[in-house]
Structure 1
Amino acid sequence: MQGEAATGRRLVAVAGKDALEFLQGLVSNDLRPLAKGPGIVWTALLSPQGKYLADFFVVAQPEGLLLDLPEVLAEATLRRLAMYRLRADVQIAESPLSVSRGLGLAPADALPDPRDPALGWRRYGAPGGPAVIDWDAIRVAHCIPESGIELIPDDSYILEAGFERLHGVDFRKGCYVGQEVTARMKHKTELRKGLVLVRVDGVVPIGAEILADGKPAGQVFTQSGGQGIAFLRFDRASGEMLAGDVRVSVA
């Protein structure tokens, strides 16, 4: 089974004796298990203020590390990595590989998507086939955010976006850029906003404002099958809400 091509992605090889240590000091998740052999970790790169800049997969292969990046954020992410590299023995170069993904029985060399079993598997090598799976429907059903839609650079916070539930952050790994703010949100505050699954009685534009009793309560993003992923203020998310003239309620 070859799977289907994962569109909108860029693959970058990261080599050099300092490659794993370099990335480990920058991202939200623990990459050390990748030193033991083939594997995949989903993680985020944050600003010093703790805001989301990008999310990506770090893949360990026999040939070295591979970054599986959203194309829309790839250039900015690679510039930031180059800025942090300094004198580390790290080389970053485009990879000739392709990424495919699928559901059900996985090829022997595929890796499970670490975010949620519902997202199936990812494979790095030859190109996949045409896209046929409704991934947005899967994301909505499991409230899984997507880069450039629910995940907004320099605005989103990863805990509000569900990264803990989706195995994208490790609170025991030690320091990384933005770690202090993330740890404080985890241990010293109660989240007052976040992504939740909602029922949508119709279809509204992505990013449509949600009102509760006439007050701003959040926004609705990806929608499928009468449901949607919404970013809500929890103190205003009780009862019926409106996005334009469309009724919205917490699922």
Structure 2
Amino acid sequence: MPSSVESPARAGSPAATGPGPVPWIAMYHSVGDRSDDPYRITVTPERLDGQLRWLLRRGLRGVSVAELLAARARGAGRDLVGLTFDDGYADFLDGALPVLARHGCTATLFVLPGRLGGDNAWDPLGPRRPLLTAEGIRRAADAGVEIGSHGLTHVDLTRADDTALGAETAGSRALLEKVTGTPVTGFCYPYGRVDRRAVEAVRAAGYGYGCAIDPGELSGPHVLPRVHVGQDDTAVRLFLKYRLHRLRRRPVEGLR
């Protein structure tokens, strides 16, 4: 898997510094049992399989965000979409990984090194879902999945003090690099909440890109917008989300 991503601002081509069409990046969370899913964050492996088949039928392939951005920096990658899985749920290994491999896809897995082997205690409604251990993260990485940081413990960075902000960005990156033994270049903002201060902290921590949900007026490789994909997203809904994403989002500064 790509161990780093060249920042579009340093891609060496003048075209790479201007705004470009927003990349399509899908946001998943858990892949597995949906019997108790109050936040609607889970898709079944069967639904994920159908969604990836939908992409392939349209000549599209799901890849990690690092691979997507590297292709865009070369002026390519229009047939690629980013696949991201937030929180680092343990069900990724059995629920998502075999499906991705079946379709020749890769993905980015955003994990929480401060909660290794723990659970999603930040969700007040539950249910408690186990998170990957360090060994589980290494298994995913060995299978070609890009590992990125989702912060240290899943806190809202827009409300964090300076000490917590540093730990959640730079601190989580350092811990993850010890776990994986490879550079960590991607960050994902917990809850999708982001402001300029959080963006600057992520950039200063050395990340090449950051994933948000709806970054509002913010733009650039460190605040990439994403599209939630859930259990209800069958062919028609996926088509609409894919087509509307570029219409609803402004071009991204620093991407071509």
TM-score (norm 1): 0.26
> Higher relative contact order at CA 8 Å, sep ≥6: structure 1 or structure 2?
2
Q: Which has the higher helix share?
A: 2
